[in-house]
């Protein structure tokens, strides 16, 4: 008999489904974590596929849950949403020395840190890839079909985790992702601290480098607003476009005229992303 | 030549429309105020009708803007959303002596205060009914068709302002409204301070009393969650039902099984409310 590892902190009805916040003790991150899940109405009587959503800098699981309006389309499409936090948490977890928003708490960058003092807790890559799916698939009505998406730092995380693990994710999408973190200020700061100075170790966490080397990537959809203040210096969408062209992977990389980096942008296009994932998730289901 | 009285603090694209935050100096409230507006794509080339949204305790204009997902349906239906704050603001504005959430700042209750020290600033009824529509209709592409809606304290505000001014609002809706404030703790606290001890002066601000006396109310839609913790003590939906039955006004008062008092509830049903208002607003447009 297994013992439940997830503690339900709250549950609210939304669009006929269940918006639930869980807490649990993470073995990978060595701390207490919280995350949110939306279970669509269909999950009441069958196992459903899940879209993992990785949030951006400063966020926790509440931002996407409250602001994206994703539950409406997820309820229609029969998709669960799995919405983790963006870093390990707690008083024992080291933070940026100056409390900056772009490193440390709220800024795990979805890597496995190798450097002190970060390596004990900052193992977000393994948390998202292994621990969290195992937990939710053991205790919730999910099948093992997964897609992955995210915003900004989380768009980077979705692309990197998805491209490195194509057997685990049917499709990948991103809003305003950090496309080339080895070549932007946010990425260089985070990677130098979490991973150290050997830049060859950074490459496995750079979506543009990964896509360029990929022979056959899964379906990918990326949306980027043209009025996004971070586009030129931090996001480097052009690097991802170049890698896509060079590798002939056929990722859809779209510029949305006039949209910025905010949740209004995400809310506007999240339905298209969920339909994209649903198409890829259900295609195998329906055979 | 008129001078603009509205200052644009921010503007973001959402669902093809414009989400704008304005600041202005309020003559009625004697303070600087901010509010948000969503202009649908249709407003780029014609004047559109507006749905006023009155928020609940502790909120400002950002809660509904960010969490309700209302822009999607508003963009489709060609409705502007006018989203005011819930009280006067600023250091000069008196607040609850204990900083309680249910009175003072963030809790104007949409009345015109008559008592010191509240009467100078707490004139939210006149602000919503007169000053704000005059401002936005002078400077934004709005026609003079209006509907009014709101949540909790704001549901009370929408019902009271709508029922008292049926010539100004085509339709009224509310989520989880405070239906009978003269007979609940929130209402008694607020009214005794803002309006004084003469309870006959409270009646013009009680939706159940107003609806009971109404011969021909405009179309009204009310949604109330059955899992709402405030239902029994504060919201008193049954009083509104009784008034509706007694006056034969035909308001739709619906209980939604399992929903609570949160924005997840609002997000789930806001599209139905906006379609309800659009039907009433466009009915005259199309003649």
Q: What is the pLDDT of residues A26-40, one digit of tens each?
A: 999 999 999 999 999
Across-strand partners of A48?
A: A142
Which of helix, strand or coil describes residue A70? helix
In a mutational test of the B interface, the residue from A256, A268, A271 whose CB has the highest number of chain B CBs within 10 Å is A268
Across-strand partners of A18?
A: A13, A39
Q: Does B10 touch chain A (CB under 8 A)?
A: no
Q: Does A42 touch chain B (CB under 8 A)?
A: no
- Mean pLDDT, chain A, rounded, equals 96
Contact B268 A15 (CB under 8 A): yes
pLDDT in tens, B85-114: 999 999 999 999 999 999 999 999 999 999
Question: Is a pLDDT exceeding 50 seen at residue B184?
Answer: yes
Q: Is B261 a catalytic residue?
A: yes
pLDDT in tens, B203-235: 999 999 999 999 999 999 999 999 999 999 999
Question: Is a pLDDT exceeding 90 seen at residue B285?
Answer: no
Question: Is a pLDDT exceeding 90 seen at residue A224?
Answer: yes
For B19, nearest residue in chain A (alpha carbons): A264
Per the listing, tokens 């489904």 go with A17
Distance CA A222, CA B272 (A): 31
Facing residue for B12 by CB, picked from A19, A67, A260: A260
Contacts of A241 (CB under 8 A, 6+ apart): A253
Q: Does A272 touch chain B (CB under 8 A)?
A: no
Residue A104 lies in a domain: yes
Determine the distance in angstroms separating the CA of B57 from the nearest CA of chain A, rounded to an integer: 18
pTM for the model: 0.95
> What residues in A contact B262, CB-CB < 8 Å?
12
Taking a C-beta distance cutoff of 8 angstroms, is the pair B155, B177 a contact? yes
Contact A71 B265 (CB under 8 A): no
Question: Is a pLDDT exceeding 50 seen at residue A1?
Answer: no
Domains contained in chain B, number = 1
A282: confidence class by pLDDT, cuts 50, 70, 90: confident
> What are the DSSP calls for A130-164, one per residue?
IIHHHHHHHHSSEEEEEEEEEBTHHHHHHHHHHHH
B287: confidence class by pLDDT, cuts 50, 70, 90: very low
Tell me how far apart the terminal alpha carbons of chain A are, to the nearest angstrom: 34
pLDDT of B282 reads 75
CATH number of the domain enclosing A76? 3.40.50.1820
A2: confidence class by pLDDT, cuts 50, 70, 90: low
In a mutational test of the A interface, the residue from B10, B12, B65, B83 whose CB has the highest number of chain A CBs within 10 Å is B12
pLDDT in tens, B229-284: 999 999 999 999 999 999 999 999 999 999 999 999 999 999 999 999 999 997 44
Residue B116 lies in a domain: yes
| CB interface of B with A, residues 52-81, below 8 Å | 66-67, 69, 71-72
| Range of the structural domain that residue A140 is part of | 7-282
Determine the distance in angstroms separating the CA of B12 from the nearest CA of chain A, rounded to an integer: 7
Residue B2 lies in a domain: no
Residue A2 lies in a domain: no
- Residue A134: closest CA among A41, A219, A52: A52
Quick one: average pLDDT of A148-161? 98
pLDDT in tens, B29-86: 999 999 999 999 999 999 999 999 999 999 999 999 999 999 999 999 999 999 999 9
B2: confidence class by pLDDT, cuts 50, 70, 90: low
Q: Please, what sign has the CA dihedral across residues B132, B133, B138, B142?
A: positive
């Amino acid at each position: 008999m297994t013992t439940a590892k997830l503690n339900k902190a709250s549950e609210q009805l939304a669009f006929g489904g269940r918006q639930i916040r869980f807490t649990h003790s993470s073995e990978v991150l060595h701390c207490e974590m919280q995350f949110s899940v939306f279970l669509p109405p269909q999950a009441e009587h069958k196992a459903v596929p899940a879209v993992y959503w990785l949030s951006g800098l400063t966020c926790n699981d509440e931002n996407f849950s409250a602001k994206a309006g994703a539950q409406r389309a997820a309820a229609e499409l029969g998709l669960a949403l799995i919405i983790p936090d963006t870093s390990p948490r707690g008083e024992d977890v080291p933070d940026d020395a100056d409390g900056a928003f772009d490193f440390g708490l709220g800024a795990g960058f979805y890597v496995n840190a190798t450097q002190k003092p970060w390596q004990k807790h900052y193992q977000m890559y393994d948390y998202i890839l292994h621990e969290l799916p195992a937990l939710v698939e053991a205790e919730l009505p999910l099948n093992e079909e997964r897609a992955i998406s995210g915003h900004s730092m989380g768009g980077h995380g979705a692309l990197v985790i998805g491209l490195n693990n194509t057997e685990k994710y049917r499709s990948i999408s991103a809003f305003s992702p950090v496309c080339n973190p080895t070549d932007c200020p946010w990425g260089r700061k985070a990677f130098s601290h979490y991973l150290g100075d050997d830049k060859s170790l950074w490459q496995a966490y750079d979506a543009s480098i990964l896509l360029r080397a990929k022979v056959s990537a899964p379906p990918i959809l990326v949306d980027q607003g043209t009025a996004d203040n971070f586009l030129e210096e931090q996001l480097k969408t052009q690097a991802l476009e170049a890698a896509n062209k060079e590798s002939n992977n056929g990722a859809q990389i779209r510029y949305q005229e006039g949209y910025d980096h905010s949740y209004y942008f995400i809310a506007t296009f999240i339905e298209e992303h969920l339909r994209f994932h649903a198409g890829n998730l259900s295609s195998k289901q329906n055979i």
